[in-house]
Structure 1
Amino acid sequence: MKILLTGAGGQVGGALRRLLQDRANIVAPTRETFDLSQPASLAEKLDSIGPDLIINPAAYTAVDRAEDERETAFRVNAESPGVMAQWAARRRVPLVHFSTDYVFDGSGERPWREDSAPRPLSVYGESKLAGDLAIAGADGPHLIARTSWVYAATGANFLKTIVRLAGEREELRIVADQIGAPTTADAIARAMVAVLQPADEDVAPMFEKRGGVVNLVCAGETSWHGFASAIVSGLKARGTQFAVKQIVPIASSEFPVKAKRPSNSRLDLTRLREQFDIAMPTWQQALDRELDALKATM
């Protein structure tokens, strides 16, 4: 099987590449050679590659910058996935795409289901929702995996930021009124490989039967403050010395940003369990594994 994997230099793409490289022929073009900001160029490149499966974790993820770069965000997150989906649908090539909790407005406290009504609060969320709709509208075999609070021991993310700041400051002030499930790129990749593996060489029939949207996050919930506290305490238990003495919970209003974030990023995992028989690790279990990986590099 030839798999086109976009964004292989990113967190989820990199994790997928590590897990799939011994199981399939992975074509992982660079951003320069498969540029999602140039959607008109993609069909010809897809013809040249001729994939049996497309996995698209690549995205424009600069949430605040997207407020000023709407056109770029929509080209990468909506138009290009739409082009890939149309190409794939015409050839019955299955497509895996990664979406986000930012398609919801964060109201209430109940976990969002796959069929919950979307209402994004930001340009980033709008662009990702537009991509979801473009893929569904192409009517080909597809699976859209909605994730949240993604991080890894490598790359630029909340985990790495907290580790840096905890080494520099005696006090950290972290938002405590946004709730979700911190989810490692590794946990996402392992779950997706488990979804794909039973289908063996022909994923299309499975997606035609059980595709659509599925939530794919770690189990449980916490706040950004709770997540930061767990990172610091977990690394301290592994022998890391920090300057930080206290981590203070604050309201979102005390940490102004250009793009509004959802307060409730909980995602319901029922469909993942019932349709694909996958139970996700808790966010604490996944964090332990990632902290072990991070500590080994420190």
Structure 2
Amino acid sequence: MSGKAKDLLQMDLYGLLGVEGTATAKEIKKAYRQKALTCHPDKNPDNPKAAELFHQLSQALEVLTDAAARAAYDKICAAKKQAEERNRKLDDKRKKIKLDLEARERQAEAQSQEEVKITRTLEEEIARLREEGSRQLQEEQRLIREQIQKERDGQQQRTADYTHTNSGVERCSKSNLTPKLKLKWKCKKDDETNGGYSQDVLSRLLQKELAFKNESGLNGNPLKISWLEGEPEVVTPVSQPGQFISSQQGSLSSERDYESVVLMRMRQAAERQRLIEEMQREDEEEA
């Protein structure tokens, strides 16, 4: 019996993945992804046991998603459970009888031989998996790495930049720059609520009149709004004969018109993002 097979016999592969013995291949794959994400070595660089646990999860996925290998493993587990059940039922008096002891020893020897035979079958199935190349495991691990990279990108990007085109009554300080607003707020890396600032919350806040100057954000987590680039310069419309427009009125009108364009672009971006997320959910459900 090889060391690899002995190690597998010492592990509860179903318990390692947190699934029942009747779990389907799809349920096993789903459980593997959830477990592997939490213990992947790339996410736990300070945990020396993370790599070993990730390796054990990979072994469990390989064996339990292959019909022949799983059948061999299940047969060994069933034999061990039967032996444990028999030992529990033996009473103290019969344990002291020599004949019964000898019978149990013979039974244990026969059981050991059967385990050797079944284990050899399991080893052959594992060798076959290695020879064929575990394309399925490689694909699952690739998906895990991609998801980890996406999570890292999401944690590093905590500043939302909104890009919008200029309005007809204003011009940028640099004619070739596209106007961009920069929004900043406090948010922990593991905060799934994004500090309370979802896309809907940001849209509602910026829909307020002159939000760039007057909006302060949520209580307890202030929102800072500043120009990232392309800050507009107000161009006061030329008044008609007999008409007077103050510089203050022209500035206020231009800022409102500019914010209207900014908000329109934000709503369009939010709608595109909603459609993308909806398509992703549909793909995951079909998978």
| Same fold flag (TM > 0.5) | no
**More strand per residue:** 1
Larger radius of gyration: 2
**More helix per residue:** 2
